[in-house]
Structure 1
Amino acid sequence: MNTVAPDTSAPAENERRRFTIPERFFALQSYVALILVFIAAIVFSPRRGGETVFLATENLLNIVRATSEIGIIAIGMTFVILIGGIDLSVGAVLGLSATGVASLLMVDDYGVLPAVALILLMGTAFGAMQGLITAKLGIQSFIVTLAGLQIARGLARIWSGGQGVPLAYGDGPGHVPESFALLNSRTFNGTVPIPALIFLGVAVIALLVVRNTVFARHVYALGGNERAARLSGINVTRVKVTVFAISGLLAALAGIIQAGQLNQGSPNAGIGYELDAIAAVVIGGTSLMGGVGTVAGTIAGALLLGILNNMLALNNVDSNIQLLVKGVIIIVAAGIQAFRTAK
């Protein structure tokens, strides 16, 4: 009796057809948008001496340097949004961290490493506490981190007396060791800004975590369906606390970088940064509903915003128009997500 071998080609064919052209576009939307904005920046760039100002090496490196703080915060925000949460406190934590590290160095005569370690620990603990409250009390992260924003901003102003803390480099009490000035310097023969390298390092670590760890799979599972994730044995509380701790840690790191770049710590630093970080994540294709998105997309979204800001500034576009343009781009990105979900 002849038997018919099972047709194994059908699943393979279905696997190959899984990604349609629209789906591929949605998956690559942040990269397509980044390329389009980059081309537009070249086209509309002013010329000096026959050279395109935008394409000057110094200008491109300045874009990455200027993007580094938002990019670092946005990477942390990506993890939070992937679980279906939001962190509105990151800008205030940046301000608290910038103020704190400046105060520890200038007023309390801490060394650079102890001061940086303490501030990073503080940011991590602040984020972890917000995650714990969200997980244990069941309060929406929007509310918890909105309160965290107010708390962090208030602590920063109390810590500094409401004033910025300027940094003076030198030896002895009341001076900051010269090593901290590295955050405002460049390497590779004075070309690549140190903050850009830190941003790159954080991005690489985040990409490795997302692609190679069980933790990342738990993050996506939690964002896809929290109840199902809990029933499958995932420690939901641990994941939430860890995700918010990462967000707090990276916000603190961004605050330290800002203090080094501006040579001061201001309690008002980071106002509005949470919105730029969320914008980078949304433009990068991460769903605000959770469970869908990539760190790579967020990095592309942050760079897109950096290039856009640079392009508008080079053309002396009014700052109010700049806000309008960014708002339109965010709406378009969110609209694409809504259409993708509807499909």
Structure 2
Amino acid sequence: MRTFLEFEKPVADVFGKIEDLRTLGNDSAVDGSDEIAKLKDKAEKALAEIYSKLTPWQKTAVARHPDRPHGSHYIHQLIEDYSPLAGDRSFAEDAAVLAGLGRFRGRSVAVLANERGADTEGRIKHNFGMARPEGYRKAKRIMQLAERFRLPVITLIDTAGAYPGIGAEERGQAEAIARSTEQALMLTVPSVAVIIGEGGSGGALALATANRVLMLEHAVYSVITPEGAASILWRDSTRAQEAAANMKITASDLLKLGVIEEIVPEPLGGAHRDMDSAIQSAGAAIERALAELDGTDPAALKSARAARFLAIGRTLEA
């Protein structure tokens, strides 16, 4: 069953009519195929019209869509011979961050990915993609492993932010995020990050500090959620739509600001409408990014990554 967002109501109404016609056709000798084809064409045109002018708040809704492909989907389709690695060797395993080694289009790579979970049980298991300190310490461990064995690092980001619970804070959440970010900066192997859904706060940056940062067309990437920003600025989370409009969180805004290098196109109506196509588009973009970094001196990879992020701050100040 399709899940439609609030602003997709015109499309939902058309699909409702299509389902009615299909039901009628199954229950009688009436052939409604021509009318169904016309309605499908109408739905596609409506989708194209809606998605051509999405607001930042609407893009946030698309990025959070429950049917959008998650980190595990990307790993399943893009990484061959994937071997998952668990635990931070200090406290526990954190299922919000998937980690492992495998082969990406002929290359041996290390992979890190946020995982939100696809159903209620999965979301609870993966903590809605919000990592605890153990997740970031696991990420650091995998990056150190990649450094040791000279493996490129691919990270897939989809999180509202780090988990803000008391236990996480007691176990050093801020320090764990900082150490993961530091390790990402220190790598002398190529690193490519892709914002596949929602990239929130330092919880996202801890995995997205890479040589190349790519972003799906309808993903969002920000220092805080629109709801959080509205709560801080106006003490009113209901003004999240207004906050989103002013935060420059969309892929087109961030490309102009130099925060990301490339926007990965999504299928019409968002990645959730054609998961396979969206994942393969992301895979092609990752392959191009890694090819650009081939042959680069290890020390140059490290210094260029640091310079990249320093340049962002200087540009935004100017």
Normalising by structure 1, what TM-score?
A: 0.24
The structure where strand makes up a greater share of residues is: 2
The structure where helix makes up a greater share of residues is: 1
Q: Max radius of gyration: which structure?
A: 1
Report 1 or 2 for greater relative contact order, CA contacts < 8 Å, sequence distance ≥ 6: 1
Normalising by structure 2, what TM-score?
A: 0.26
